[in-house]
Amino acid sequence: MKIVLIHGQNHKGSTYHIGRMVAEKICPEGTIAEFFLPRDLNHFCTGCYACIDDVTKCPFYEEKNRIMAEVEAADVLIFTTPTYALRESAPMKSFIDLTFNYWMSHRPRKCMFSKKAVVVSTAAGTGAKKAVKYVANALFYWGIPRVWTYGISVQAMNWNGVKGKKKQKTEKKTARIADRVRKKAVKTGIKTKALFMLMRMMQKADLASGEPDKAYWEKNGWLAKERPWK
């Protein structure tokens, strides 16, 4: 099993430790690849729409593709982000912006419909559940059918400061999440299918983003009878 972790921070704080905990519980002997934001992708989307015409024309394509090639090859994705100002970190938000052409409204990748994902966030106070919700929603638009979330107030500024009882609670919670990730089959739900079919209707009616996106859908056979899920 291959797991890819994308960290919405460069430092290895509470969120990082919990993300690693989940990964190692899912598959102790699996292949784990990690990326840190902004270290591995230190750019904001410029809104140039170059990627709508041709994905390789994004000014940050090489750096982005190095991450997304690993993402597409993974079985399980784990996103970790500290909670800043009641939301996900700016680097994580920037990453989501830079990958918007993966959304079902543009050019969803077939491989996403067979993946599982986990989103983790911690906060010293409140806001972690809001942070994980936003990232999980983006993954839903990627087409990922199973996404688990874990947002927790650790009441500390770093992992060393987290109290023993809180760490014990985290151990139990991550073990439950990992168990579900291992055992739950990938099944595309009705909400994902409904959104996909809505986007399909828009592509057929030329109400989406233009010819390059429609050509992508046609190439995959999705405007006919093919579907990205099994």
Residue 86 has pLDDT above 80, yes or no: yes
Q: How confident is the model at residue 87 (pLDDT cuts 50, 70, 90)?
A: very high
Q: What is the pLDDT of residue 218?
A: 96
**61-75: pLDDT as tens digits:** 999 999 999 999 999
The residue whose two tokens read 């292949």 is: 31
Task: Give me the chain's average pLDDT, please.
Answer: 96
**146-202: pLDDT as tens digits:** 999 999 999 999 999 999 999 999 999 999 999 999 999 999 999 999 999 999 999
Q: What are phi and psi of 95, to 5 degrees?
A: -60, -45
Q: Which two tokens stand for residue 125?
A: 């106070």
Give the residue extent of every domain in the chain.
Answer: 2-185
Amino acid at 142: W
Q: What is the pLDDT of residue 230?
A: 80
Residue 208 has pLDDT above 80, yes or no: no
Q: What are phi and psi of 216, to 5 degrees?
A: -65, -45
Q: How confident is the model at residue 38 (pLDDT cuts 50, 70, 90)?
A: very high
- Cβ neighbours of residue 194 closer than 8 Å, sequence gap 6 or more: none
Architecture label for domain 2-185: 3-Layer(aba) Sandwich (3.40)
